[in-house]
Chains A and B, each alone.
Chain A
Amino acid sequence: MIIDYETLKLLWWVLVGILFIGFAVTDGMDMGVGILLPFLGKKDIERRVIINTVGPHWDGNQVWLITAGGAIFAAWPLVYGAAFSGFYFAMLLALFGLFFRPVGFDYRSKIEDPRWRNGWDWGLFIGGLVPALIFGVAFGNLLQGVPFHLDTLLRPYYTGSFFALLNPFALLAGLVNVAMLAMHGAIWLQLRTAEPISTRAKGAAKTWGLVTIVAFGLAGVWLVFDIEGYRVISMPALDAQPNPLTKQVVREAGAWLGNYQAYPLTLAFPVLGFLGLGLALILSSLDRPGLGLILSGLGITGVIMTAGATMFPFIMPSSTNPNSSLIVWDAVSSHLTLTIMFWAAVVFVPIIIGYTTWTYAKMWRRVTVEEIKAQEHLAY
Chain B
Amino acid sequence: MLDSTMIELSRWQFASTAMYHFIFVPLTLGMVWILFIMESVYVMTGRQIYQDMTKFWGKLFGINFALGVTTGLTMEFQFGTNWSYYSHYVGDVFGAPLAIEGLMAFFLESTFIGLFFLGWERLTKVQHLTVTFLMALGSNLSALWILIANGWMQNPVGAEFSYETMRMEMTSFTALLLNPVAQVKFVHTVAAGYVTASMFVLGISSYYMLKGRDLAFARRSFSVAAGFGLASILSVILLGDESGYEVGDVQKTKLAAMEAEWETEPAPAAFTLFGFPDNEAEETHGAVKVPYLLGLIATRSLDTQVTGLKDLMVEHERRIRSGMIAYDYLERLRGGHDTEANRAVFEDHKQDLGYGLLLKAYTADPSQATEAQIKQAAKASIPQVAPLFWSFRVMVAAGAWMLLLMVLGFYYNAKRVIEKKRWLLRLFLFSIPVPWIAVETGWFVAEFGRQPWAIGEVLPTAIAASSLTVTDLVVSLSAFGVVYSILFAIGIYLMFKFARLGPSSLHTGRYQHEQPLTAGTATLATQPQRRAD
Contact = CB atoms under 8 A, between A and B. Distances in A.
A234 B127 CA distance: 58
Nearest to A110: B494
B98 A70 contact: yes
Contacts of B90: 77
Contacts of B106: 63, 66-67
B368 interface: no
Which of B67, B95, B164, B173 has the most C-beta atoms of chain A within 10 angstroms of its own C-beta? B95
Given A59-B111, A152-B334, A99 B103 contact: no
Contacts of B108: 355
A373 B119 CA distance: 16
Interface centre among B79, B82, B475 (most CB of A within 10 A): B79
Interface in A202-228: none
A73 B99 contact: yes
A102 B69 contact: yes
Contacts of A337: 92-93, 95-96, 169-170
Given A59-B113, A67-B106, A82 B84 contact: yes
Contacts of B169: 333-334, 336-337
Contacts of B171: 336
A72 to B, nearest CB: 8
A69 B167 contact: no
Nearest to A83: B80
A320 interface: no
Nearest to A156: B84
B100 A92 contact: no
A161 to B, nearest CB: 11
Interface stretch (A50-58, A174-182, A189-197): A50-58
B87 A80 contact: yes
A338 B325 CA distance: 32
A70 B102 contact: yes
Contacts of B103: 67, 344-345, 348-349, 352
Contacts of A95: 73-74, 77
A228 B65 CA distance: 46
B490 interface: yes
Interface in A302-357: 333-334, 336-337, 340-341, 344-345, 348-349, 352, 355-356
A67 B533 CA distance: 41
A370 to B, nearest CB: 11
Given A60-B111, A152-B335, A363-B119, A78 B88 contact: yes
Interface string B97-133: 0111111101110111111011111110001000000
A152 B337 CA distance: 14
Contacts of B331: 152
Shortest 5 CB-CB distances between A and B: which pairs? A77-B91, A84-B80, A74-B95, A60-B111, A81-B84
Interface string A95-123: 11011011101110011100000000000
Contacts of B69: 59, 62, 102
A258 B490 CA distance: 53
6 contacts: A63-B102, A81-B86, A81-B466, A91-B80, A99-B73, A241-B164
A242 B123 contact: no
Nearest to A76: B91
A69 B76 CA distance: 7
A98 B73 contact: yes
B467 interface: yes
A43 B533 contact: yes
A85 interface: yes
Contacts of B70: 98-99, 101-103
B73 A66 contact: yes
B102 A103 contact: no
A380 interface: yes
Interface in B497-533: 497-498, 505-507, 526, 528-529, 532-533
Contact of A77 (B88, B114, B334, B479): B88
B114 A60 contact: yes
A56 B84 contact: no
B479 A96 contact: yes
A261 interface: no
Given A55-B114, A341-B96, A378-B120, A105 B88 contact: no
A341 B100 contact: yes
Interface in A31-61: 43-45, 52, 55-60
A88 interface: yes
Given A70-B102, A345-B103, A103 B66 contact: yes
A153 B166 contact: yes
B107 A107 contact: no
Nearest to A86: B84
Contacts of B81: 84-85, 88, 91-92
Contacts of B474: none
B133 to A, nearest CB: 13
B468 interface: yes
Interface string B311-352: 000000000000000000001001100000000000000000
A5 interface: no
B85 interface: yes
A282 interface: no
Chain B CB within 10 Å — which of A76, A89, A107 has the most?
Answer: A107
Contact of B102 (A67, A75, A89): A67
A259 interface: no
B368 to A, nearest CB: 16
Given A78-B88, A85-B467, A103-B487, 12 more contacts: A59-B113, A62-B69, A70-B101, A85-B81, A106-B65, A154-B88, A155-B467, A243-B166, A334-B92, A348-B100, A376-B507, A379-B118
B115 A362 contact: yes
A81 B467 CA distance: 10
Interface in B455-492: 466-468, 472, 475-476, 479, 483, 487, 490-491
A48 B454 CA distance: 46
B118 A56 contact: yes
Nearest to A52: B118
B207 to A, nearest CB: 20
B301 interface: no
B99 A341 contact: yes
A295 interface: no
B79 A73 contact: yes
Contact of A154 (B127, B166, B468): B166
A71 interface: yes
A59 to B, nearest CB: 4
B151 to A, nearest CB: 17
Contacts of B98: 70, 73-74
Interface in B159-191: 162, 164-167, 169-171, 173
Given A70-B95, A70-B98, A243-B165, A363 B88 contact: no
A111 B85 CA distance: 44
A84 B83 CA distance: 9
A135 interface: no
Contacts of A82: 84, 88
B87 A73 contact: yes
A167 interface: no
A337 B86 CA distance: 17
A232 to B, nearest CB: 19
Given A59-B69, A102-B70, A73 B80 contact: yes
Report which residue of B94, B103, B532 has the largest number of chain A beta carbons within 10 angstroms of its beta carbon: B103
Contacts of A77: 87-88, 90-92, 95, 167
Contact of B476 (A59, A92, A103, A376): A92
Nearest to B505: A377
